C-alpha cells in the first residue's frame, strides 16, 4: 500500500521557522476577507516587499556556466541565488542550487560517467534488491577550495565541460536583486527570460460560507493526560483543525462550488458541508485571493507575511474579520524541502504549507493573534 502524504499542525509556531527553511517555492496564495483587503491594499502595494521589482528567470545553460569565474563570483561567492532545473526528481537528472550548495541528483549511468563523489539518494532507489539507481552529489561552491587552479575544483569543471555537458533548463532567482540593479549583463548574455513575481493575480470571489475559527469548547491540540476524555478532546481539536484546512484549500481553489454561499447541492451528491461560524451571517463573506507565481524566495514570502500581519493589526473591520491565510506550494521536483530534508516525488511530491492568522475573540485581549500552521509533505520526504 502506497504511504499517504502527511499534514503536521502547529499552534503559535513562529512563521519564520516554517517559511525561511523552505527555499524552493513556485506559488503563493494570500487569502483574506474582501472588506479587509480593500482597507490594506493600497498600503500593501506600496510596501517594501511589493513596491520593488522582483524577477525570476528561465534560462537554458550547461552546468559549466555555474562554475565560470564571473558567474561563480557574482552569484555564489559574494551573492546568493536559488536555481532549480526542469525534470522528474526520481527519473531524470535534476540539479539545484541554494545557499551556495550545488546538488546533483543523477541516474546511475550519469553518476558513473561524471566521475564525481556522491552517495545513494534517500529516495528513488527502488526495486526488489534496493539497487543504487540514483546518487546525490553535493558541492559547496562557497568552500575556499572551490577556485580555478585547485585540483578538486578543476575536476568538477572538467566533468561539467566533458561529461555533464548538455544544456539544462533552469529557473533562477537572485535573492539580492532588490539591493542592486535588476539588469545584469551576465544574465543577458545567457539569454535569460525574466518574469515579474511581485505583480499578483487578484481574484475577488462571490460570498462564501466561512467556518468557525474557534476550536470546540474543551478541545486541545495536545496534553491533558492519557484518559479517554483527554484523547477525545485532542481528536475533536484535530478534526476541527483539518476541517479549517480543508476549507482553506477549497476557498483558495476558485473558490470551489461547495463553499459558495448560494450552493445548494444535494447531500446525496456531495456530503461536504461547512461548519458555519460567526463571521458571515446569512449572506456569506466575500473573499479576495492574491496569487504570486514564479521562483519565489523564502525571504520575500516572509516579508509579505510580516507586511500583511502589521497592516491587519492596524485596522478594524469588526466582527473578527481580521483573519488571513498564506498558502505556499513548493516545487514537487525539488531535491530538498525544509532544512535540507531529502525529497522525492515518485508517489507524490507535496511539500508546502499554510499559515492562518486568527484574531482573538476578545478585542480587549492584548495577546497576539493565534497562528495555525499546516505543513504538508508527501510520503517520500525526510521532513515527515
227-240 per-position pLDDT tens digit: 888 889 889 899 89
Q: Say if residue 210 is in the same domain as residue 286.
A: yes
User: Looking at the domain assignment, is residue 383 inside a domain?
Assistant: no
- Arithmetic mean of pLDDT, 351-370: 72
User: Looking at the domain assignment, is residue 384 inside a domain?
Assistant: no
114 and 135 Cβ atoms separated by less than 8 Å: no
- In the prediction, which pLDDT does 313 show? 83
Using pLDDT thresholds of 50, 70 and 90, give the confidence band for residue 320.
low
Q: Say if residue 144 is in the same domain as residue 85.
A: yes
C-alpha to C-alpha distance for 337 and 175, rounded to whole angstroms: 18
- Arithmetic mean of pLDDT, 181-208: 83
- In the prediction, which pLDDT does 100 show? 93
- In the prediction, which pLDDT does 322 show? 82
User: Where among 165, 196, 227 does a domain terminate?
Assistant: 196
pLDDT in tens, 78-118: 989 999 999 888 888 999 999 999 999 999 999 999 989 98
Looking at the predicted structure, is the pLDDT value of residue 270 above 70?
yes
C-alpha to C-alpha distance for 74 and 377, rounded to whole angstroms: 34
DSSP H or E stretch at residue 292: strand 287-296
pTM of the model: 0.88
Nearest to 63 by CA among 163, 153, 193: 163
Q: Say if residue 137 is in the same domain as residue 224.
A: no
Nearest to 20 by CA among 295, 292, 297: 297
User: Where among 196, 216, 235 does a domain terminate?
Assistant: 196
Looking at the predicted structure, is the pLDDT value of residue 367 above 50?
no
More confident residue, 329 or 48: 329
- Range from 126-140, 170-184, 306-320, 355-369 carrying the lowest mean pLDDT: 355-369
- In the prediction, which pLDDT does 172 show? 94
The label of the residue with cell 569543471 reads 157
User: Where among 150, 165, 196 does a domain terminate?
Assistant: 196
83 and 67 Cβ atoms separated by less than 8 Å: no
Q: How many domains does the chain have?
A: 2
- In the prediction, which pLDDT does 62 show? 95
Looking at the predicted structure, is the pLDDT value of residue 280 above 70?
no
Query: How crowded is residue 147: how many other Cβ atoms within 10 Å of its Cβ?
Result: 13
Sequence-distant (≥ 6) Cβ neighbours of residue 220 within 8 angstroms:
233, 234, 237
- Arithmetic mean of pLDDT, 270-292: 74
Q: Say if residue 328 is in the same domain as residue 238.
A: yes
Nearest to 343 by CA among 136, 139, 170, 169: 136
More confident residue, 260 or 39: 39
Q: Say if residue 238 is in the same domain as residue 258.
A: yes
C-alpha to C-alpha distance for 205 and 227, rounded to whole angstroms: 44
User: Looking at the domain assignment, is residue 302 inside a domain?
Assistant: yes
* Residue ranges in 91-227 assigned as alpha helix (H): 108-114, 151-162, 185-189
Q: Say if residue 361 is in the same domain as residue 321.
A: yes
pLDDT in tens, 134-178: 899 999 999 999 999 899 999 999 999 999 999 999 999 998 886
User: Looking at the domain assignment, is residue 284 inside a domain?
Assistant: yes
More confident residue, 288 or 268: 288
When the pLDDT of each residue in the chain is averaged and rounded to a whole number, the result is 84
Looking at the predicted structure, is the pLDDT value of residue 23 above 90?
yes
User: Looking at the domain assignment, is residue 1 inside a domain?
Assistant: no
Using pLDDT thresholds of 50, 70 and 90, give the confidence band for residue 2.
low
Task: Return the ∠ at Cα 349 (arms to 348 and 353), rounded to 5°.
Answer: 120
330 and 28 Cβ atoms separated by less than 8 Å: no
Sign of CA dihedral 221, 223, 226, 230: negative
199 and 255 Cβ atoms separated by less than 8 Å: no
Q: Say if residue 152 is in the same domain as residue 279.
A: no
Bridge-based pairing of strands 55-61 and 6-11 is unpaired
User: Looking at the domain assignment, is residue 123 inside a domain?
Assistant: yes
Q: Say if residue 46 is in the same domain as residue 175.
A: no
Burial of 221 from C-beta contacts in 10 A (0-12 / 13-18 / 19+)? middle
- Arithmetic mean of pLDDT, 212-223: 81
User: Looking at the domain assignment, is residue 297 inside a domain?
Assistant: yes
Residue 179: domain span: 55-196
Query: How crowded is residue 157: how many other Cβ atoms within 10 Å of its Cβ?
Result: 16
Enter the C-alpha cell of residue 323.
483573519
Q: What is the largest CA-CA distance in the chain?
A: 73
Question: Between the ranges 127-131, 178-182, 201-205, where is the mean pLDDT highest?
Answer: 201-205
Nearest to 53 by CA among 222, 187, 174: 174
- Range from 29-43, 263-277, 295-309 carrying the lowest mean pLDDT: 263-277
317 and 33 Cβ atoms separated by less than 8 Å: yes
CA distances (Å), origin 118, targets 25, 111, 131: 26, 8, 15
- Estimate to the nearest angstrom the gap between the alpha carbon of 102 and the chain centroid: 20
- In the prediction, which pLDDT does 365 show? 46
| Side-chain-side CA neighbours of residue 197 (13 Å) | 30
Looking at the predicted structure, is the pLDDT value of residue 128 above 70?
no
The b/e string for 243-267 (b: 16+ C-beta within 10 A; e otherwise) is bbbebbbbbbeebeebbbbebeeee
- In the prediction, which pLDDT does 362 show? 54
- Arithmetic mean of pLDDT, 10-20: 92
The label of the residue with cell 543577458 reads 188
Amino acid at each position: 500500500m502506497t504511504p499517504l502524504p502527511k499534514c503536521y499542525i502547529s499552534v503559535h509556531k513562529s512563521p519564520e521557522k516554517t517559511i525561511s527553511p523552505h527555499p524552493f517555492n513556485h506559488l503563493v496564495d494570500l487569502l483574506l476577507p474582501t472588506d479587509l483587503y480593500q482597507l490594506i491594499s493600497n498600503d500593501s502595494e506600496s510596501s517594501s516587499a511589493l513596491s520593488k521589482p522582483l524577477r525570476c528567470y528561465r534560462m537554458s545553460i550547461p552546468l559549466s556556466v555555474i562554475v565560470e569565474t564571473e558567474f561563480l563570483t557574482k552569484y555564489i561567492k559574494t551573492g546568493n541565488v536559488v536555481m532549480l532545473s526542469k525534470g522528474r526528481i526520481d527519473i531524470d537528472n535534476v540539479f539545484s542550487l541554494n545557499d551556495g550548495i550545488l546538488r546533483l541528483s543523477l541516474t546511475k549511468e550519469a553518476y558513473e560517467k561524471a566521475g564525481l563523489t556522491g552517495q545513494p539518494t534517500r529516495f528513488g532507489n527502488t526495486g526488489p534488491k534496493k539497487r543504487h539507481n540514483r546518487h546525490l552529489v553535493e558541492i559547496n561552491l562557497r568552500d575556499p577550495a572551490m577556485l580555478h587552479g585547485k585540483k578538486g575544483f578543476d575536476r568538477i569543471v572538467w566533468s561539467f565541460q566533458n561529461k555533464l555537458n548538455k544544456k539544462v533548463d533552469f529557473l533562477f532567482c537572485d535573492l539580492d536583486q532588490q539591493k542592486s540593479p535588476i539588469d545584469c549583463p551576465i544574465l543577458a548574455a545567457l539569454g535569460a527570460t525574466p518574469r515579474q513575481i511581485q505583480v499578483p493575480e487578484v481574484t475577488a470571489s462571490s460570498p462564501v460560507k466561512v467556518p468557525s475559527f474557534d476550536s470546540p469548547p474543551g478541545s486541545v491540540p495536545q496534553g491533558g493526560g492519557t484518559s479517554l476524555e483527554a484523547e477525545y478532546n485532542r481528536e475533536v481539536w484535530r478534526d476541527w483543525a483539518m476541517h479549517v484546512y480543508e476549507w482553506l484549500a477549497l476557498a483558495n481553489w476558485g473558490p470551489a462550488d461547495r463553499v459558495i454561499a448560494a450552493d445548494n447541492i444535494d447531500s446525496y451528491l456531495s456530503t461536504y458541508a461547512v461548519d458555519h461560524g460567526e463571521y458571515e451571517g446569512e449572506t456569506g463573506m466575500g473573499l479576495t485571493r492574491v496569487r504570486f507565481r514564479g521562483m519565489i524566495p523564502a525571504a520575500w514570502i516572509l516579508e509579505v507575511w510580516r507586511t500583511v500581519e502589521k497592516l491587519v493589526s492596524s485596522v478594524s473591520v469588526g466582527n473578527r474579520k481580521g483573519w488571513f491565510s498564506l498558502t505556499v506550494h513548493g516545487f514537487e521536483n525539488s531535491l530538498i524541502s525544509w532544512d535540507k530534508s531529502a525529497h522525492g516525488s515518485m508517489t507524490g511530491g507535496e511539500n508546502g504549507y499554510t499559515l492562518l492568522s486568527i484574531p482573538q475573540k476578545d478585542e480587549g485581549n492584548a495577546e497576539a493573534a493565534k497562528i495555525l500552521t499546516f505543513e504538508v509533505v508527501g510520503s517520500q520526504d525526510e521532513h515527515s
